[in-house]
């Protein structure tokens, strides 16, 4: 999950990384309120999950209430690379002596973390990497050993950060590394990291990607999920613990295993249909999971038919069949269901379903035939 800048800064602040005082604003009046609270001058910043906001006119300095109004009005609703600005972050403006770049990310091939630090910040790091790669000090970090202050001190010197910034920057980088590891980020980036004329080092921007696989140990991440921007189907599915991704088509999909679920989307496409979702119920195809899956798909108004594609392995098809029947007893489903059941105990599973089949609940012997049937029913 990518965070907005203001959320990234809130996350940074938990780990003691210095950021400017500010607040979010969804209207011009709110922006003015924040500006008066944090004190002029302020920066008015578009909150969109895309870089290069400054260049696109999404970051503006304001020294008076009138300027706040003008900029807030101009930035709200602005389209930045296809992202329409719905929210602003207004913070007390900093004076800038120097702009640096700092980030931590995963170096998968080397099974390590990678720190990147440059005295040339504020510009796109990709440009620095292409034109002046030696200006970026790369620091591979063994995840077991971590990053200590002594290493961070050498690193800030190697990167050529100004003397005045080094001690604070080293401490900040250790804090950022803690945020990145303990905070389960895939990416924690500060561009620019600034040195002020007064000799303070702090984060002027925040780009944070959280590792969704770690969400189970971060109940506090829920506050980062903005209901207003999210697909309601995906929210419902997540509340039920399902591995679901909403799509635009009319055939609801339930499959066991991510690979089979993806093949199911392909086959539905191949026979001229389009899937309403990706949904992998994994190995837990019991009545609870099946009922939850059917409920989520049933609540999608675009769905016209449901294709349940199960290949029994460790999951036994007779249990799945039982699960489907129990689920149907609990949930009233608006669309016809086409089942393809194969693999372990398929014969037993089909026998369980046989007495219950009708024109709303049908089985087909193969994946291809089931896909054709589901697509025909969706027309």
Catalytic option among 6, 11, 100, 101:
101
The number of residues that bind ligand GDP (CB under 6 A) is 16
CA gap 66, 354 in Å, rounded: 73
Nearer Cβ to Mn ion, position 205 or 280? 205
Question: Which residues lie across from 209 on neighbouring strands?
Answer: 2, 187
* Torsion 153-10-246-287 (CA) sign: positive
Question: Which residues lie across from 275 on neighbouring strands?
Answer: 251
189 is catalytic: yes
Identified binder of ligand GDP from the candidate list 47, 94, 256, 315, rule CB under 6 A = 94
The footprint of ligand GDP on residues 155-194 (CB under 6 A) is 191-192
The footprint of Mn ion on residues 205-244 (CB under 5 A) is 205
Site string for ligand GDP, 40-59 (x = CB under 6 A): ---x-x-----xxxx----x
In the complex, what is the shortest distance from the CB of residue 284 to ligand GDP, in angstroms, rounded to a whole number?
42
Nearer Cβ to Mn ion, position 10 or 263? 10
* C-beta separation of 268 from 274 below 8 A: yes
* C-beta separation of 141 from 107 below 8 A: no
Binding at 343: pick from ligand GDP, Mn ion, none (beta carbon under 5-8 Å per type):
none
In the complex, what is the shortest distance from the CB of residue 212 to ligand GDP, in angstroms, rounded to a whole number?
23
94 binds Mn ion (CB under 5 A): no
Question: Which residues lie across from 254 on neighbouring strands?
Answer: 308
Bond from prior residue into 41 cis (ω within 30 degrees of 0): yes
In the complex, what is the shortest distance from the CB of residue 100 to Mn ion, in angstroms, rounded to a whole number?
11
CA gap 261, 237 in Å, rounded: 16
Catalytic option among 5, 91, 189, 295:
189
Binding at 52: pick from Mn ion, ligand GDP, none (beta carbon under 5-8 Å per type):
ligand GDP
Q: How many CB atoms lie within 10 A of CB 241?
A: 12
**Which residue's C-beta sits nearest to ligand GDP?**
54
Identified binder of ligand GDP from the candidate list 204, 297, 306, 308, rule CB under 6 A = 204
223 is catalytic: no
In a 13 Å sphere around the CA of 68, the CA atoms on its Cβ side amount to: 27
Nearer Cβ to Mn ion, position 190 or 297? 190
Binding at 280: pick from Mn ion, ligand GDP, none (beta carbon under 5-8 Å per type):
none
Question: Burial level of 162, CB count in 10 A (0-12/13-18/19+)?
Answer: middle
Question: Burial level of 222, CB count in 10 A (0-12/13-18/19+)?
Answer: exposed
The two three-digit tokens of residue 173, written as one number: 């980088």
Q: Which stretch binds ligand GDP (CB under 6 A): 92-100, 129-137, 252-260, 320-328?
A: 92-100
The footprint of Mn ion on residues 156-195 (CB under 5 A) is 191
Report the SS3 class of residue 279: strand
DSSP 77: T
Nearer Cβ to ligand GDP, position 45 or 178? 45
The two three-digit tokens of residue 286, written as one number: 């019991």
Q: Read out DSSP for 3-23?
A: PPHHHHHHHHHHTT--B--EE
Would you please indicate which residues are annotated as catalytic (active-site) residues?
A: 101, 189
Site of interaction with ligand GDP (CB under 6 A) = 43, 45, 51-54, 59, 93-94, 96, 99, 122, 191-192, 204-205
Site of interaction with Mn ion (CB under 5 A) = 191, 205
């Amino acid at each position: 999950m990518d965070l907005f800048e203001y959320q990234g800064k809130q996350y940074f602040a938990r780990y003691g990384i210095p950021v400017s005082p500010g607040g979010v604003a969804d209207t011009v009046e709110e922006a003015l309120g924040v500006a008066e609270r944090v004190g002029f001058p302020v920066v008015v910043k578009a909150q969109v999950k895309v870089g290069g906001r400054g260049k696109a006119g999404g970051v503006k300095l304001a020294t008076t209430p009138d300027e706040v109004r003008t900029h807030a009005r101009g930035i709200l609703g602005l389209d930045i690379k296809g992202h329409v600005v719905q929210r602003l972050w207004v913070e007390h403006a900093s004076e800038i002596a120097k702009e640096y770049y700092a980030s931590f990310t995963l170096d998968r091939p080397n099974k390590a973390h990678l720190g990147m630090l440059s005295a040339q910040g504020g510009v796109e790091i990709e440009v620095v990497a292409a034109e002046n790669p030696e200006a970026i000090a790369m620091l591979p970090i063994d995840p077991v050993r971590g990053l200590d202050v002594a290493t961070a001190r050498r690193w800030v010197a190697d990167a050529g950060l100004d003397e005045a910034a080094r001690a604070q920057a080293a401490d900040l980088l250790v804090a950022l590394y803690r945020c990145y590891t303990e905070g389960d980020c895939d990416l924690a980036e500060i561009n620019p990291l600034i040195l002020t004329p007064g000799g303070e080092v702090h984060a002027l921007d925040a780009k944070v990607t959280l590792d969704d696989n770690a969400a189970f140990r971060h109940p506090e991440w829920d506050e980062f999920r903005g209901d207003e921007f999210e697909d309601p189907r995906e929210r419902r599915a997540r509340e039920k613990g399902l591995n679901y991704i909403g799509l635009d088509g009319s055939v609801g999909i339930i499959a066991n295993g991510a690979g089979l679920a993806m093949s199911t989307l392909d086959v539905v496409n191949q026979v001229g249909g389009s899937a309403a979702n990706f949904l992998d119920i994994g190995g837990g195809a019991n009545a609870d999971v099946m009922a939850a899956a059917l409920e989520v798909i049933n609540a999608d108004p675009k769905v016209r038919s449901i294709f349940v594609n199960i290949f029994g392995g460790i999951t036994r098809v007779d249990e799945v069949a039982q699960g489907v029947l129990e689920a149907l007893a609990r949930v009233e489903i608006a669309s016809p269901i086409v089942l393809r059941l194969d693999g372990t105990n398929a014969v037993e599973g089909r026998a369980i379903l046989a007495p219950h089949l009708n024109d709303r609940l049908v089985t087909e012997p193969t994946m291809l035939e089931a896909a054709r049937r589901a697509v025909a029913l969706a027309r």
